[in-house]
Amino acid sequence: MNATVLLVLGTGLVASAIDLRTRRVPNLLTFPVACFGLLFALAGLTGLTLADAAFGCLVGLGLMLPLHILGGTGAGDVKLMAAFGAFLGPAGVFGAFVRMAIVGGLIAVGVALYRGRLRETLNGTALLVARTEGVAAAIASPAMNNRFPYAPAVAIGAALVALGW
């Protein structure tokens, strides 16, 4: 296993464990990982150029930021995807984002089933797709009981790409 795979897997496991326990992904984890990604690219250890690693960070940030603005993810999830972008590059982080969305959807269905809220969740999702006003408030509403830690989905998406899947 190369350094990219090990760091993506390790970071994903740590971020997921912290997010599941505290509902946060700390800057103390994401910032150093992003810096290591840039340094590893500069040293030629990842197969990416420094420009690719930096652009990967920006693509990861750009893909996740709208979800955060709408209230669908936390800021830590955004920074985690950006950090993974430093190791995966622009195309890799885009692939991780697509895989994350699929895994996140499956987790959301599982959480809704577990909480006995599948019908309400599907109806709410349809309403959110059909309108734009009030989206953030509807997602974040504590009465809805629809939030869950998202770092595991981000980590799994990045891990799948790092492993070549």
- Least confidently predicted of 17-26, 120-129, 133-142: 133-142
Domain range annotation of the chain: 3-104+149-162
pTM, full prediction: 0.88
16-30 pLDDT per residue, tens? 999 999 999 999 999
Q: How confident is the model at residue 1, as a pLDDT?
A: 67
44-91 pLDDT per residue, tens? 999 999 999 999 999 999 999 998 998 889 999 999 999 999 999 999
Mean pLDDT along residues 111-121: 87
Candidates 17, 37, 139; CA nearest to 90 is 37
Q: What gap in Å lies between CA 116 and CA 134, rounded to an integer?
A: 24
Q: Is 135 exposed, middle or buried (0-12, 13-18, 19+ CB in 10 A)?
A: middle
Q: How confident is the model at residue 19, as a pLDDT?
A: 97
